[in-house]
Amino acid sequence: MPAEATLPPARRARRTPGLRREEVAALAQVSVSYYERLERARAPRPSPQVLSALATALQLTEAERDHLARLAGQVLPAENDGAPEQVPEDARRLLDGLDGIPAYIVNDRQDIVAWNAAAVALMTDFSRLTPDERNLTRLSLRFRDTLCTGAPGSESDFARQTAAQLRAAGVRHPTDNVLAELINEFATQDPVFASSWRHHAVRPVPHVRKILRHPTLGELEIDRHTLGLPGSGFSLVMYTAEAGSPGAAALKSL
């Protein structure tokens, strides 16, 4: 926002929020015409210094800076697009050590590739699902009305989180046709995902509050936490509940 960028108040009312082109260009110390050409992909590939200046002017997060660099071709795409990665052994040990905390590991496509016993007790026996069925977004769409919903005020959080993760993954794996097909599938089936995808967000949404309808424990309000595992294309997903809440007692009973 202009105030956050320490710009002087505008002389005329703004029709849309955010910075104008000339303001971004001034903050990044580039010409307006060059910035306009960059927006239209008609300028030469920007240098790392220019990208850094633009990222600072736009107050991008680390994830957004990385995404910008990849779009500009300054970070090599991940190798072996489409090939399954081996879950790091230390990640498996971490997963097994989360005694009583439902957790699983997902890859860039949001496929669930490893899980612990508590996650099975809370959600489903993932071993009985096919690899295609063990996709987090597919499961969310499949069980939306019967298993899990957004908590009040957070209905779109999961869709925004998934859209951001898959958009960032698409830049890392530009030739992964399976990933592209998944994105098209989700955009067709989920209007909230489609809307979130059109916003081009890549900023992580590490925390989502959900209401889970468990067949024996009833309705539980729980928190879903996503932690990226450094140096890999995997993320750890954990489910917790506020201390002293019915949800916490239910998770403990698992």
* pLDDT(14) > 60: no
Report the chain's mean pLDDT, rounded to a whole number: 78
Dihedral sign, Cα of residue 24, residue 29, residue 31, residue 35: negative
pLDDT at 83: 47
Domain residue ranges in the chain: 1-59, 89-253
Give the residue among 200, 241, 232 at the shortest CA–CA distance from 60.
200
Task: Name, of 37-51, 92-106, 213-227, the range with top average pLDDT.
Answer: 92-106
Lowest mean pLDDT among 19-28, 61-70, 108-117: 61-70
Q: Which of 15-29, 44-58, 226-240 has the highest mean pLDDT?
A: 226-240
Residue of higher predicted confidence among 7 and 168:
168
Q: Is the pLDDT of residue 192 over 70?
A: yes
Mean pLDDT, rounded, for 33-50: 76
Indicate whether 238 pLDDT > 90.
yes
Q: Give the per-residue pLDDT at 168.
A: 80
Per-residue model confidence as pLDDT tens digits over 66-124 = 777 767 766 545 545 554 568 888 889 999 899 789 999 999 889 999 999 999 999 88
Statement: residue 132 has pLDDT above 70: yes
Give the burial class of 136: count Cβ atoms within 10 A of its Cβ; 0-12 exposed, 13-18 middle, 19 or more buried.
buried
Q: What predicted TM-score, i.e. pTM, was given to this entire model?
A: 0.65
Residue type (1 letter), 164: A
pLDDT on residue 127:
93
Average pLDDT over residues 146-168: 66
Which pair of structure tokens corresponds to residue 85?
């990665």
Are the C-beta atoms of residues 208 and 149 closer than 8 Å to each other?
no
**Phi-psi region at 156: left, alpha or beta (left = phi > 0; alpha = psi -120 to 50):** alpha
* Alpha-carbon distances of 177 from 67, 82, 83, 84, 222, rounded to whole Å: 19, 7, 11, 13, 34
Is the model's pLDDT at 153 over the cut of 50?
no
**Which of 29-33, 75-79, 185-189, 240-244 comes out lowest in average pLDDT?**
75-79
Higher per-residue pLDDT: 224 or 53? 224
Name the DSSP letter for residue 207. Answer: E
Between 187 and 141, the higher pLDDT residue? 187
* Per-residue model confidence (pLDDT) at position 118: 93
- Select from 3.30.365.10, 3.90.650.10, 3.30.450.180, 3.40.109.10 the CATH code of 89-253: 3.30.450.180
Buried-exposed string 221-253: b where 16+ CB fall within 10 A, e elsewhere: bbebebeeeeebebbbbbbbbeeeeebbebbee
Q: Are 158 and 208 in contact (CB under 8 A)?
A: yes
Q: 10-19, 80-89, 135-144, 188-197: lowest mean pLDDT where?
A: 10-19
